[in-house]
Chains A and B, each alone.
Chain A
């Protein structure tokens, strides 16, 4: 097997929940050794309530459990940090300081450490200490307001607001690693997930700073393309998305749906008129899609050179032949739950390998981390177990 891109990089990972763990997930897939440090007090809510979700965000990581509130637990944590390249944490701002693991302390232990603190609103500012979950980032960031039917209420995404924040954490750590590679210098990174959301609607925010315009909600619609919507198909709650940008796509669409006369119809004769009259077009298209399965529509229209994709549900994603062929959807063997379907990294790399692995059970790698990495004896480790410093 080829080397992985981040072979040799070690991360002390204190994150819980969804955003932080998904951030270090990218580093794990690229081969970094992630030591996930869990404690009773700060055990992941996902671990407690929804283990399948925990598994899907903690692949290829090592599991370490210790009591951070005991002096001996803290000391062991510091020894793990001393042999790490990166620390990632997602506590509420101030908690790492209270634990005695703030950046200034961590820097003393390992001067070139890269430490990323991920939070909802950032480490600074009047609302930095506020409590947040994923969909709140979407609302505060401005995305929820822009999502929904043109005549309807705002709609929130849930997990995606966390996971896109996690992506930004992975990117930020990698940029800091590249800098350290050249200069030997570490640093502290303060990431706000709500600000990630705002950055990803930057163009809509510029409409406001330029024109004082609130773009509002557009459903599936686009400013230029039409038709551009989701259409009901045969079956229960089955839908297909269709988007048309050019004449070269419009004509074959009309042919494919058995309405060649539309090509000659004045009110659909150019992109602007189609956009103007898209409500009528949507009805015509939906009359046709209703008689086909969503995959049939995709097959027919893609053959004709028209962009069409079903609105897939999770089962359809997990069983989709394309995703399976690429190895994106794959099966892992979990030590306690057996076979699990998971999705891996969204890329294929030509030389370095991806590491998928499996997700650690509670304290699964305590002996490896303490014994192999820190050099503690069997007796010392047993004593730590007895004293409930590790558990």
Chain B
């Protein structure tokens, strides 16, 4: 087996749902040893979240949990019990990194905050992920993924473009699925690895305080930056002069003729005669896209929009995509899950991989967006079943005897 990029990195993860577990998964998929700690008998709340095969809920068959916890080892441990905390500390002592995403007060109440854990392992990197961070007036505010998304400013601009034109009076929305929580987990992995790199050189550890709303607000810098020029962008003003989503024969496609050569390619595909008309010249149609649309050239833009809409309805999304790309115009389809699975480009790149889990059999999972020439992404094991590695880790890592294990089990500690 090829060596993994993060072989040798030891991580303890006391995290649930999406953000913390995704951070752990990113490290585990590149070869880190991640020990996931779950509450005995209950486990990560992601285990109770859809999708389930055949829609039959089962704690070992949640697609959300299975996806987010590949390549990890799983143990159960009751941290409310002093013996559980003692074992936790022993694990932390032998780890480089601890990831957690509990409310700010939880780890301190358990006596497992960074100040306490640092005493046990001065080289430890502890990464805490919360909606608002560990400091500041909102730190103890409650926030589910919906609130975090809107509290960052990301939701306020959805839907924009055609979505806003059609429903100007409706509420702003979140982006699909749990995407914000994934983005937050990824940012946490960046800070964790940066700290790990530094700790290797300096011999020191540190505390990493990740704020979810700050991660998401940071992603919005393209939209937010023009505030410095006095523009407060909203759903109405956040549209392209020409392009964006168009409805086609079998769904939606997206056109982005942002540069002159792309715009020319678009006209060439739709109707080469259009390029001869003065009013459809690029400079008349495509204003600087740093600015809201309006004013001069609106009539020409509207008539061109109508022409594009009429044209698009006669073609399939795949057709529009490949035709425009052949003429050098940026375009894409609005892919359904089926389209994503069937994409030739993704198939060629081996993006989906089959993973065998004892409770589900083989299922196709997304792998990784990044190909490493020397240390490829690998599946070494599927997500752990609840407590699957408790005995192995506690006996061989911590040196707990078999009889003590029986006692701990009886007391509900594991």
Contact = CB atoms under 8 A, between A and B. Distances in A.
Interface string B222-266: 111111110011110010000011010000111010110010000
A187 B375 contact: yes
A346 interface: yes
B176 A203 contact: no
User: 10 smallest A-B Cβ distances: which pairs?
Assistant: A146-B176, A159-B222, A195-B369, A206-B63, A309-B151, A208-B337, A207-B51, A346-B214, A155-B159, A136-B332
A250 interface: no
Interface residues of B, number: 157
B146 A126 contact: no
A239 B150 CA distance: 9
A220 B234 contact: no
A192 B371 CA distance: 9
B288 interface: yes
Interface string B144-187: 10111111111111111111001100111111111100110011
Contacts of A243: 144, 146-147
Given A140-B332, A141-B340, A147-B173, A206 B67 contact: yes
6 contacts: A152-B159, A160-B175, A181-B200, A207-B50, A307-B146, A343-B218
B365 A241 contact: no
Interface string A10-21: 000000001000
Contact of B221 (A56, A122, A152, A351): A56
A236 to B, nearest CB: 10
- Which secondary structure dominates chain B's binding surface? mixed
- Which secondary structure dominates chain A's binding surface? mixed
Contact count band on A: 35 or more
A241 B55 contact: no
Nearest to B63: A206
A272 interface: no
A1 to B, nearest CB: 15
B382 to A, nearest CB: 12
A123 B173 CA distance: 34
In this complex, which of B51, B325, B349, B369 has the most chain A Cβ atoms within 10 angstroms of its Cβ? B369
Nearest to A308: B147
Interface stretch (A67-75, A164-172, A376-384): A164-172
Interface stretch (B190-198, B397-405, B406-414): B190-198
A51 B5 CA distance: 37
Nearest to A191: B370
B227 A49 contact: no
A162 interface: yes
Contacts of B213: 323
Interface stretch (A36-44, A76-84, A313-321): A313-321
B232 A315 contact: yes
